Amino acid sequence: MLSYDDFLKVDMRIGKIIEASDFPEAKKPTYKLKVDLGPEIGIKASSSQLTHLYQKEELIGKYVVCVVNFSPKKIVDFLSEVLTLGVWTDSGVVYLQPEKGVKLGLRVS
């Protein structure tokens, strides 16, 4: 069981996807993303295996939840700096999103 203090160690923030591009070097179909996490954190890179459910163009402007305090992960030649959170479904990954507009960089609690 995780304690509440354990939960607080995971820094999840609201970001907005500002760029999405193909990542053909990845083993599975993947996009490279740039996510704006507000003035405190800035713009960070991420990658996501969500090509089955989302087209690159529809990702631009989408609000997402990101874990910002994991160590960066190198994927082929790309450094993923944040983890964008989603739910695995039979059709692919569906992003977690705030229901209403919120400021970029706000912490999830």
**Who has greater pLDDT, 79 or 109?**
79
Q: For the chain, which domains are there?
A: 4-90 (2.40.50.140)
Give me the DSSP letters along 17-78.
EEEEEE-TTSSSS-EEEEEE-HHHH-EEEEEE--TTT--HHHHTT-EEEEE-SSPPEEETTE
Average pLDDT across the chain, whole number: 93
| Of 100 and 21, more confident | 21
d(CA 94, CA 88): 7
What's the pLDDT tens digit per position in 42-80?
Answer: 999 999 887 888 999 999 999 999 999 999 999 999 999
**Residue % of the chain over a pLDDT of 70:** 100
Please tell me which of 10-14, 23-27, 53-57, 85-89 the model is most confident about, judged by mean pLDDT. 10-14
